[in-house]
Amino acid sequence: MRRVVVTGLGLVTPLGVGHKLNWERLIAGQSGIRAITGFDASDLASKVAGQVPRGDGDGLFNPDAFIPPKDQRKMDDFIIFAIAAAHEAIKDSGWVPQTDEERELTGVMVGSGIGGLPGIAEGAVTLAEKGPRRISPFFIPACLINLASGHISIQHGFKGPNHAVVTACSTGAHAIGDASRLIMLGDADVMVAGGTEAAVSRLGVGGFAAMRALSTAFNDTPEKASRPYDKDRDGFVIGEGSGVVVLEELEHAKKRGAHIYAEVVGYGMSGDAYHISAPAEDGNGGFRSMRNALKRAGLDPASIDYVNAHGTSTPLGDEIELGAVKRLFGTAMDSVAMSSTKSAIGHLLGAAGAVEAIYSIKAINHGIVPPTLNLENPSESCLGVNLVPKVAQERRVRAALSNSFGFGGTNASLVFKEFA
């Protein structure tokens, strides 16, 4: 089977735009969670979110830098975030296909959990108030999930596989795993892969709040709201943004002298077959997903130095994941570091798996594991587990495991290994 490496990284998150800046802020223990801005949150149960900081300047997101203003109304924000993250990742990789054959072997697989929810909400209002003749011809293409991949391919002329994953909060991880397999099987030499989400809107927050899934106890102290594994955690904090990587067949990357960040060595999947939103209580789904990824990687748990947890800061979910990790790692639990970077950026839903994959790769590259913020009083089950409370830790990371679990009982785990 052909080997797949990561040669480009791109991030748009609540910590800002750019993977280097994201990493600096992440390991410095900064939080991107704030009181919600941009729409009225006064009657919403949760009033905090990880929103992408907008404006002009270092690390701020300015859509005009990627899409002419007249075209921005033709796409919802989730597409613009993806275009921006892809722009950084592709530039970072230095890959510019020159021939038709090269273009045909370069594909895109950027998914989203929800897609154009704000646009759909707006479209429904237009329909109800003004009737069908006033629906924009751009309504459908602005909201369709696979249009993120579509726009990226159009902008860059990538004519290979054009695909989009939709697996709720596992989307980003599934996209990177599945795109890697397309390269392994020879359907492509290069894949631009990841996830994107922009559902921080009245309908999005209202919807998750209706499930009682969101944090509501920290509306006055937003930076404290996302606190995975802490006793006072009370739900996840919704976030937005995009993570995109450039994946490349190893020899292809070597031949052109590309910088290699890490190798994608493991990818495991599973289904809970249990409940639409709650994880199976025995953690079996997450356990099998991780076990399958390690098996594919040919690594034992002792070879994993860092686990980037799904860790959404929900009372039930964190506990179940930790139980599954403990069961899989056994005595190797003593030496592994595990943290949830959602403590800093919130839960980016369909983008989470891709953003966290990039943070895991950065941990390998820099020999630093990012902290779990707000971990003041760990739950009892956390005793003896290094959850990297509040402060980043320097340590060699030979290989990292990143977990993503989604509604519907869909689980994906990725394993990245240092490339020597």
Cβ proximity to another protein: between 142 and 169 the closer is: 142
Question: CA-to-CA distance for 250 and 243, rounded, in angstroms?
Answer: 21
Should residue 57 be labelled a site residue for another protein when binding is judged by CB under 8 A?
Answer: no
Does 55 help bind another protein (rule: CB under 8 A)?
Answer: no
- Please give the residues from 65 up to 124 whose contact with another protein meets the rule CB under 8 A: 68-71, 74
The distance of closest approach from Cβ of residue 68 to another protein in the complex, given in angstroms and rounded to an integer, is 6
- Alpha-carbon distance 266 to 3, whole Å? 11
Maximum alpha-carbon separation in the chain: 64
Residue 137 sits in the site that holds another protein (CB under 8 A): yes
155 contacts another protein (rule: CB under 8 A): no
Which run of H or of E encompasses 253?
Answer: helix 250-255
Q: CB under 8 A: which stretch of 28-36, 136-144, 332-340, 403-411 binds another protein? A: 136-144
Cβ 244 vs Cβ 342: under 8 Å: no
| Pattern 173-212, another protein, x by CB under 8 A | ----------------------------------------
* 419/190 Cα distance (integer angstroms): 18
Does residue 132 bind another protein (CB under 8 A)?
A: no
Residue with Cβ nearer another protein (57 or 69): 69
Kindly tell me which of 138 and 419 has the beta carbon lying closer to another protein. Answer: 138
Which residue in 54, 91, 134, 398 binds another protein (CB under 8 A)? 134
**Least distance (Å) between residue 131 CB and another protein:** 11
Angstrom distance (rounded) from CA 177 to CA 171: 10
Closest to another protein by CB, 140 or 278? 140
Whether 260 and 285 have beta carbons less than 8 Å apart is answered as: no
The single residue of 151, 156, 163, 310 carrying the catalytic annotation is: 310
One-letter amino acid for residue 88 of the chain:
E
Distance CA 213, CA 258 (A): 42
| CB of 55 or CB of 68, closer to another protein | 68
- For residues 270 and 88, what is the distance between their CA atoms, to the nearest angstrom? 31
Question: Is the Cα torsion angle 277, 278, 279, 280 positive or negative in sign?
Answer: negative
Q: Which residue has the tokens 């990226």?
A: 152
Task: Note if 252 is an active site residue.
Answer: no
Q: Does 126 bind another protein (CB under 8 A)?
A: no
Is 382 a known active-site residue? Answer: no
Clarify whether 169 is annotated catalytic: yes
Select the residue interacting with another protein from 32, 97, 141, 301 (CB under 8 A): 141
User: Does 133 contact another protein by CB under 8 A?
Assistant: yes
Taking the alpha carbons at both ends of the chain, their separation in whole angstroms is 19
Other CB atoms within 10 Å distance of the CB of residue 39: 12
Q: Is-contact 310 286, C-beta < 8 A?
A: yes
Residues at the interface with another protein (CB under 8 A) = 68-71, 74, 133-134, 136-138, 141
Active site residues: 169, 310, 347
